[in-house]
């Protein structure tokens, strides 16, 4: 199947033509070819750790505390002197000098939702929707959707449907559906619009026909050579027949790179105990998260500006009938995360993308600093783990501190508003956004009122 992305049905191949009331893809590309300069040449990959990861077993192990508070998985030294992580994160520990961990991040509540990426801090829209409200919904060169959400099903057809009862990652809030993320593998009208309903031979015939018609039209209008509509028609066909569809096809990737990302060998699905009702979610995460990260990198290279990556609610480690204990859960969830995210960072470094791509990893909350009687940790909104890499930020540091038990910020809290501002600062020239026409006061204030994390910018 050959696919192409855009927000609206007016970009269907069937509308490609020289006239009519609908805007065609070539017309769209022509209209978008001029950029005002307020959009920076950067992308964001936001890995949402759905369910609420523990700060203690990830980046703040508190091994000087008694059993029941300190990390149940122990600790491991990192590449930063005196800094340790939970021992599950062996690969990320070696890359600590390339990342920034915020130990004073707080999401405010211990509720299951998706508030850091779709919440009050973003007007109830995916942060990527705020970005595309300014940047436009598609890359002007490739036609790639600028805002994309990648769930396990995008890379693993056998994965469960995405759980959205705690929030819709594809929400555009008051901005409107034109700015909603594209969700590959999820179906819907956008997925239908991406499907090319014409075989390749007929497409090539149509290309020749339109080229000839454009030449006639250009002669009649006195147009010359490059920059005429023909160039944009050619770009449109190239987009349909190659660029976008290739980006979504992981079989086009170097086998060695694909193998480095692949998390499937780390956890044998048959080893995941069925005593946990969420065993299928653990399976999907362990089999998919590496390929999701690889797909995110490929999409950013080809023009995507904001990519949401999330598993299907796997970090909720209460040790109840649904969820595993901390130690077992980190084996199913944390080890594949460590492998996939470290592969992404190393890949970006090798490709010279460290300045171009910002990686953000967090969930909706942290976990109680005191373990429950079942060897799990319950909901906790006062502090949460946050990891960032790249994007031109000042990484290689620990930002802020938690208190003795790891349950409260001991330094100035970093809020979700600060995180949103940091993301938008990375993607956009916010001074230009402030004078941009057409933004409502609510959108303008949401995008520009808060300060980025000061230690990072």
pLDDT tens digits for range 441-455: 999 999 999 999 999
Q: Is the same domain home to 204 and 241?
A: yes
Is 284 within the bounds of a domain?
yes
Q: Same domain, yes or no, for 226 and 279?
A: no
CA 52/CA 406 separation, integer angstroms: 15
Does 196 lie in the same domain as 317?
A: no
437 lies in the same domain as 292 = yes
Number of compact structural domains in the chain: 2
Token pair 């995110």: residue: 296
Split at pLDDT 50, 70, 90, the class of 146 is very high
In whole angstroms, how large is the CA radius of gyration of the chain?
23
pLDDT value at 199 more than 50: yes
11 has a pLDDT exceeding 60: no
219-273: pLDDT as tens digits: 555 544 444 444 445 545 555 555 677 899 999 999 999 999 999 999 999 999 9
> Quick check: is 455 in a domain?
no
pLDDT tens-digit profile of 365-415? 999 999 999 999 999 999 999 999 999 999 999 999 999 999 999 999 999
Please tell me whether residues 146 and 270 are part of one structural domain. Answer: yes
CA nearest 115: which of 278, 123, 316? 123
Q: What would the pLDDT profile of 32-55 be if each residue is shown by its tens digit? A: 444 458 999 999 999 999 999 999
Per-residue pLDDT band for 142 (boundaries 50, 70, 90) equals confident
- Contacts of residues 200-209 at CB distance under 8 Å and 24 or more positions apart, as own/partner, are 200/2, 200/241, 203/13, 203/237, 203/240, 203/241, 206/16, 207/233, 207/234, 207/237
pLDDT of residue 197: 44
As a whole number of angstroms, the distance between CA 47 and CA 70 comes to 25
Calculate mean pLDDT across residues 71-76. Answer: 98
Residue listed under structure tokens 């003795």 = 404
- pLDDT tens column, 359-370: 999 999 999 999
Q: Which domain holds residue 149?
A: 40-182+254-448
Residue 310 and residue 196 share a domain: no
Q: Residue 18: inside a domain, yes or no?
A: no
Q: Which of 200, 223, 247 is the last residue of a domain?
A: 247
pLDDT at 185: 83
H-run or E-run covering 46: strand 43-48
pLDDT number for residue 14: 34
280 or 190, greater pLDDT: 280
């Amino acid at each position: 199947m050959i696919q192409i992305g855009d927000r609206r049905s007016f970009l269907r191949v069937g509308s490609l033509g020289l006239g009519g009331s609908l805007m065609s893809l070539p017309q769209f590309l022509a209209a978008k070819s001029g950029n005002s300069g307020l959009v920076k040449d950067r992308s964001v990959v936001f890995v949402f750790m759905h369910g609420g990861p523990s700060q203690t077993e990830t980046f703040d192990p508190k091994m000087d505390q008694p059993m029941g508070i300190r990390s149940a998985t122990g600790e491991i030294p990192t590449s930063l002197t005196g800094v340790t992580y939970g021992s599950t994160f062996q690969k990320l520990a070696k890359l600590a000098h390339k990342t920034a961990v915020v130990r004073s991040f707080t999401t405010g509540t211990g509720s299951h939702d998706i508030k850091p990426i779709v919440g009050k801090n973003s007007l109830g829209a995916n942060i990527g929707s705020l970005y595309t409200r300014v940047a436009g919904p598609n890359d002007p060169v490739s036609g790639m959707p600028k805002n994309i959400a990648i769930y396990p099903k995008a890379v693993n057809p056998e994965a469960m449907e995405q759980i959205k009862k705690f929030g819709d990652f594809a929400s555009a809030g008051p901005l409107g559906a034109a700015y909603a993320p594209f969700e590959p593998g999820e179906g819907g009208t956008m997925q239908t619009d991406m499907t090319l309903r014409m075989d390749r031979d007929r497409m090539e015939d149509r290309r020749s026909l339109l080229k000839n018609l454009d030449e006639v039209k250009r002669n009649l209008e006195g147009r010359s050579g490059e920059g005429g509509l023909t160039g944009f028609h050619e770009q449109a066909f190239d987009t349909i027949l190659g660029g976008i569809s290739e980006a979504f096809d992981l079989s086009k990737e170097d086998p060695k790179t694909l193998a480095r990302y692949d998390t499937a060998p780390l956890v044998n699905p048959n080893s995941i105990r069925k005593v946990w009702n969420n065993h299928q979610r653990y399976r999907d995460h362990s089999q998919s998260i590496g390929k999701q990260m690889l797909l995110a990198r490929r999409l950013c290279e080809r023009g995507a500006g904001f990519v949401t990556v999330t598993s299907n609610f796997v970090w909720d480690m209460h040790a109840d009938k649904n969820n595993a204990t901390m130690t077992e859960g980190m084996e199913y969830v944390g080890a594949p995360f460590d492998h996939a995210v470290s592969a992404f960072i190393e890949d970006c470094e090798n490709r010279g993308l460290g300045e171009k791509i910002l990686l953000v990893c967090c969930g909706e909350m942290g976990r109680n600093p005191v373990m429950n009687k079942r060897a799990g940790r319950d909901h906790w909104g006062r502090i949460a783990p946050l990891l960032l890499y790249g994007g031109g930020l000042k990484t290689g540091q620990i930002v802020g501190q938690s208190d003795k038990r790891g349950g409260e910020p001991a330094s100035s809290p970093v809020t979700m508003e600060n995180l949103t501002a940091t993301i938008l600062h990375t993607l956009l020239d916010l001074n230009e956004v402030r004078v941009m026409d057409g933004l409502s006061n609510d959108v303008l204030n949401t995008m520009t009122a808060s300060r980025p994390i000061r230690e990072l910018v």
